[in-house]
Amino acid sequence: MDKLIKEIEKNWDLLQSSDFLQSEIDGSNSIEYFENHFAEFADADYAISHTNASTAILTALQALNIKSDDEVLVPEFTWPGSIYPVILLGAKPVMISSEKISTNIDPEKIEEKINSKTKAIIAAHLFGYPCNIKKIMKIAAKNDLKVIFDAAQSLTAIWGKKRTGAFGDFTVFSFGYGKKLNIGGGGMLVCNNKRYFEKAISLSQHPLRCHLQITDTKLRRNAAGLNLNCRMNPTTSILGIIGLRKLINHNQDICSPEFYHLFKHFEKEDLSDIIHRFELEAIPSGDNFIVFPQNITQLYKIKTMKFITKKVNLVSIKNILGENGICCKAVYSVKIKNQES
């Protein structure tokens, strides 16, 4: 830590320069650079940086005119930060069951929960796996619903030939702990609709940026600072620029044919000995564990396996799997609807 602090002190004058500080207000320089390059990476037309993914979801909901007493369909199995913004606006989150294999929201269970108050769907791509985007978008179009995809855990995931940022009315990304791009916090809101982009700016950014980037006369006139001002700190955006560059280079390296061939050794049958030794059962309930080859889950469509344990030391499981090149992480064990308020 001391070494890091000393390096920052050496560059203190640069950090305090007027150009750098101004980027915090009007979105220029580092923030603009990060947003533009992130949008390109995510296969989106527009990107707006935020303090975190939850505030980005809040902005998206507001931009889509979600109001008190509206209903928003949400997954029952996800991070609470995906759902709390709905409650904050006075709207009602309606829980949708998860698919047994992927743990993502089950499209087959969506339509039975739609009524006249339903206005939007929030669908999360859990553990690097995209949910069934095609089915969800088809249901949304049929019922005139807006769609927000929570891609906090699927930054590099691909659906078809595009990354997950290319779909829905808005997609949200996170840069916090445990994410593919961890820069200590922050979030990104992306979309492909200019009207939504400008409205999102008016709801979440500094008024100066609003006046500089919003072309809609009415939106620009109303941008008087009556918003949460969820802009990203420019220091965070610098980390984001560096991290995104490294992520792109890293992905290019591990997408090589040689690496894919190595991945092929980690099919389910190759894990059978490990599973047997620890008496694991492939049951999608209880204290779930998700097991996948390191660094691969967001690059290739592979089988995710979930297990519950039978009187086994979970630390031992993680260590043994790690020794075999397999990443093992504990995941949410309590569904949102079962959590205490």
Between 4 and 261, whose confidence is greater?
Answer: 4
Length of the chain: 341
Predicted local confidence at residue 302, as pLDDT: 36
Report how far apart, in Å, the C-alpha atoms of 32 and of each of 38, 63, 241 are: 10, 21, 10
Confidence of residue 334 (pLDDT cuts 50, 70, 90): low
Q: How many CB atoms lie within 10 A of CB 11?
A: 9
Predicted local confidence at residue 59, as pLDDT: 96
- pLDDT tens column, 45-98: 999 999 999 999 999 999 999 999 999 999 988 888 889 999 999 999 999 998
Residue 98 gets which letter from DSSP? B
| R_g over Cα of the chain | 21
Report how far apart, in Å, the C-alpha atoms of 267 and of each of 49, 100, 137, 288, 291 are: 38, 19, 31, 19, 11
Scanning the structure block, which residue is given the tokens 């092929």? 264
Lowest mean pLDDT among 134-143, 157-166, 242-251, 302-311: 302-311
For the chain, residues classed under CATH 3.40.640.10 are 2-248
Predicted local confidence at residue 16, as pLDDT: 67
CATH topology for the 2-248 domain: Aspartate Aminotransferase; domain 2 (3.40.640)
Predicted local confidence at residue 60, as pLDDT: 97
Between 12 and 84, whose confidence is greater?
Answer: 84
Residue 179 gets which letter from DSSP? S
Contact 82, 57 (CB under 8 A): yes
Between 285 and 237, whose confidence is greater?
Answer: 237
Phi, psi of 330 (to 5 degrees): -75, 140
Report how far apart, in Å, the C-alpha atoms of 185 and of each of 43, 235, 236, 329 are: 22, 11, 8, 20
Three-state DSSP string of 195-243: HHHHHHHHHHCCHHHHHHHCCCHHHHHHCCCCCCCCCCCHHHHHHHHHH
